[in-house]
Amino acid sequence: MQPKTVSPTTLVIAGATGDLAQRKLVPALYNLALDGLLPDDFALVGFSRREFTREEFIEFLREAVDTYSRRRPIDPALWSKFTSKIAYVSGDLGAKESYEKLRQALTQFGSTSRDVVFYLATAPEFFGPAAKYLSEVGLLSGEAIATNPDAWKQSRVIVEKPFGHDLESAKKLNQELLNAMREEQIYRIDHYLGKETVQNILVFRFANGIFEPLWNHKYVSHVEITVAETIGVGTRAGYFDKSGILRDMVQNHALQLLCLVALEPPVSFEANAVRDEKVKVLRSIRKFSPEDVANKVVRGRYLAGKIGNEAVAGYLGEAGVDKKSETETYVGIEFAIDNWRWNGVPFYLRAGKRLSERVTEISVFFREAPHLFFEKFGIDQVASNVLTFQIQPDEGIFLRVNCKPPGPSVKLQGVDMEFSYGKSFGVEPPEAYERLLLDAMKGDPTLFTRNDEIEQAWAVVAPILEAWKTSKLRMPPVYGYEAGSAGPSMADELLLRRIGRGWYKS
């Protein structure tokens, strides 16, 4: 169990009646309460345009927990404690008066000695204005919440994704936030960093002596990262069609996974030490020329098909998608990391929607044994050892090794040494948002992204976006793939051409 936050805390959710709050944030808070992890003196303030009374807001919270909490039904005693300090402020998030109103509302919880965490779960166009107005009404400097000179430390702002649309807009947003507050107050969320197995990558690498000596180009041949979903664009076409999977999943979640696998040992488990190492990885990723984009990046878009037994529409047939859209719903990429550790080790990454199964995993492939003496049994090749971090759906870590199956003759068979969360700990891991909300309330930014990190990640994908836009004629097309398949066959071709084998399936 984690230590509790020490200070009384008020959490303000801007965009409190939206989808994210309903599906993720409110259930996460309730589950933290169930585990006794919320500060004893916890208050929640909803802040949104919708006209709600306090009672209507509490009803909204109840429905959110009833529908989306991983643990149900609601415990009545806990619920009355959880909802004892709740307020709701309705207002236009783009107008300063609303923030004045919010400041008034915050005083009812005896605001002088409280930490206040503002969660911007709004449309991205409000991130900049919200930061500005929060600052102007004194909620970020501490003026409105305390009298001591370090009072700013008591207020923090969590910023949801998307953080910018490209490098320029991400820089602009960083600047807007930094005009209103200090970097230490900004918690840019990437929910993949809150997933249990993602957090385990660093523990696994650096708390065990046996893997790190092998974790380099001498022993690792390549790395594969898969972020596959079965869902399509759903009701988010308005956002996704302007974004595409490269922006939606690769710039943030998938590159974060790559960083954690590739980084050097941080000097400590402090936020900036870890983030410094991630930034170094991002800076070492080789920049793509237009030729690289043509040769090492495969784009795809789902066609009509079947997910399980259900027939589903193709991307261009989805409500809200431009019929002439060129947006990619799949991408397969070969990255090179130009540093001592990873010289010559390709990192393959694929992310896509409407694929055959939902799976997020990272597989590290070790080079084959240097010499084999099994020729007389007709064995002249063995499979690589593969270490897989399965992030979802079944959290675990597997090591594929070659063994001899029972019997009189010598044969080789790949088997898995398996660690699964369910079996080893007998508990279901918490949702990513539980951990991240708790960390933000405690003031621990380790699992959040820093300004330079986010800009570097944009700098990695920028040349790809640029080549797609400006060198259209030289770029391969967006290949169609059937919904429910493994993605475009050209993504397999990419691996076959480069390493002589297709994508790995753990």
Catalytic residues: 253
Give CA–CA dist 189/174, Å, rounded: 13
- Token pair belonging to 450: 């820093």
Would you tell me which residues interact with ligand BG6 (CB under 6 A)?
Answer: 161, 191, 229, 248
Q: Which is nearer to ligand BG6, 230 or 384 (CB)?
A: 230
- Token pair belonging to 385: 């050892």
Q: Which is nearer to ligand BG6, 72 or 358 (CB)?
A: 358
Is-cis flag, bond preceding 3, omega within 30?
no
User: Is residue 325 classed as helix, strand or coil in its secondary structure?
Assistant: coil
Give CA–CA dist 461/82, Å, rounded: 43
Please tell me what DSSP assigns to residue 449: B
Residue 297's nearest CA partner among 494, 503, 472 is: 494
Q: Are strands 9-14 and 42-48 parallel, antiparallel or unpaired?
A: parallel
Please give the C-alpha separations between residue 505 and each of 297, 469, 486, in angstroms, as whole numbers. Answer: 20, 33, 11
Q: Are strands 86-90 and 42-48 parallel, antiparallel or unpaired?
A: parallel
User: Angle between the 451-470 and 167-180 helix axes, to the nearest 10 degrees?
Assistant: 150
Q: Which is nearer to ligand BG6, 292 or 361 (CB)?
A: 361
Please tell me what DSSP assigns to residue 402: E
To the nearest whole angstrom, how small is the minimum distance from the Cβ of residue 260 to ligand BG6? 16
To the nearest whole angstrom, how small is the minimum distance from the Cβ of residue 410 to ligand BG6? 42
* Cβ atoms of 398 and 390 closer than 8 Å: yes
Q: At residue 480, what are phi and psi to the nearest 5 degrees?
A: -80, 145
Residue 432's nearest CA partner among 249, 195, 260, 227 is: 195
Q: Which is nearer to ligand BG6, 106 or 362 (CB)?
A: 362
**Which residue lies nearest ligand BG6, judged by its C-beta?**
248
User: Angle between the 54-68 and 26-34 helix axes, to the nearest 10 degrees?
Assistant: 80
To the nearest whole angstrom, how small is the minimum distance from the Cβ of residue 437 to ligand BG6? 15
Which sign does the torsion angle of CA 126, 129, 131, 134 carry?
Answer: negative
Q: What angle do CA 211, 287, 298 make, to 5 degrees?
A: 85
Q: What angle do CA 298, 166, 272 make, to 5 degrees?
A: 100
Element (H, E) at 491: helix 489-499
Largest separation between any pair of C-alpha atoms in the chain: 83
* Cβ atoms of 315 and 301 closer than 8 Å: yes
To the nearest whole angstrom, how small is the minimum distance from the Cβ of residue 431 to ligand BG6? 9
Q: Which is nearer to ligand BG6, 162 or 488 (CB)?
A: 162
DSSP string, 88-142: EEE--TTSHHHHHHHHHHHHTT-GGG-EEEEEE-S-GGGHHHHHHHHHHTTTTTS
To the nearest whole angstrom, how small is the minimum distance from the Cβ of residue 161 to ligand BG6? 6
Residues 6+ apart with CB under 8 A from 103: 137, 138, 139, 144
Q: Which is nearer to ligand BG6, 248 or 361 (CB)?
A: 248
* Cβ atoms of 358 and 230 closer than 8 Å: yes
Q: Are strands 347-352 and 297-303 parallel, antiparallel or unpaired?
A: unpaired
Give CA–CA dist 14/258, Å, rounded: 31
To the nearest whole angstrom, how small is the minimum distance from the Cβ of residue 29 to ligand BG6? 18
Q: Which is nearer to ligand BG6, 161 or 354 (CB)?
A: 161
Counting every residue, how long is the chain?
Answer: 506
